[in-house]
Amino acid sequence: MSARMDNLPAPPFPQRVGDRLIGQLLRRAWGSSYTASEIIDPMLSVIELLVASRVRAQQERLDLMDRLDHRIARSVDYIETHYGDALTIAELAGIACLSPGHFSRTFKAAMGVPVWAYVTCRRCERAKEMLLTTSVSIAEIAYRCGFANQGHLTRCFKEAFGVTPAAARNGLHCT
C-alpha cells in the first residue's frame, strides 16, 4: 500500500487477542509460585492496552470524520461496514450524492489515496484481525473480507504487510 495509508486510523487492538493473552497469563499462573502482583500486573497491562487502543482508534476515526467532507465521510462509513460486499464506484458515489468521476477525485483529495487503495487497505486490516483472532480458513477470510479469492487476498496482504496471510497467522510480524 501507499505510504499515505499510514495516515489512516489504526484498527483497535482486537478484543479476542486481549482475552487470549489474559487466558495465557492465568494458565501460567495457576499452580505456580508467582505472587499476586506478578500475575495481576501483566493482566492490568493487557487491559490497559486494550482500552487505550480502543480509545485511540475511536478518537482517530472521529478526527478523520471531522476533517472530511460529509459526503466522503458517509462513503467511508459505508466502506467500513460493507467492506465484505462487492462494492462499486457507482454505489459509493451514490451514497456520497456525487457522480462517479467527481466522487473518485473528491475521495482521493480528502483521503490521500484512491478509493480502491482505501478499500483494499481496510479489507487487509480486517483480514489481519481475523487471521490473528479466529481459526477460520484463509479462503473463508478472503471471501468474508470481499476479496475475489484466496490468491487475491494473499497478493494484497503481502503488498500491505510484507508477509503472506499464512505467515501472519503463524506468528510472523506484520508491519
- pLDDT of 33 above 90: no
Give residue 165's identity as a one-letter amino acid code: P
CA distance 110 to 103: 10
Q: What are the backbone dihedrals phi and psi of residue 28, each rounded to the nearest 5 degrees, phi first?
A: -65, -35
- pLDDT of 170 above 80: yes
Calculated CA dihedral for residues 58, 60, 61, 67, nearest 10 degrees: 150
- pLDDT of 64 above 70: no
pLDDT, tens only, 68-98: 678 888 999 999 999 999 999 999 999 999 9
Of the candidates 133, 154, 130, which has an alpha carbon nearest to the alpha carbon of residue 141? Answer: 130
Percent residues over pLDDT 90 in the chain: 47
CA distance 103 to 93: 5
Of the candidates 86, 82, 92, which has an alpha carbon nearest to the alpha carbon of residue 122? Answer: 82
User: Which has the higher per-residue pLDDT, 129 or 51?
Assistant: 129
What nine digits make up the cell of 25? 497469563
pTM: 0.63
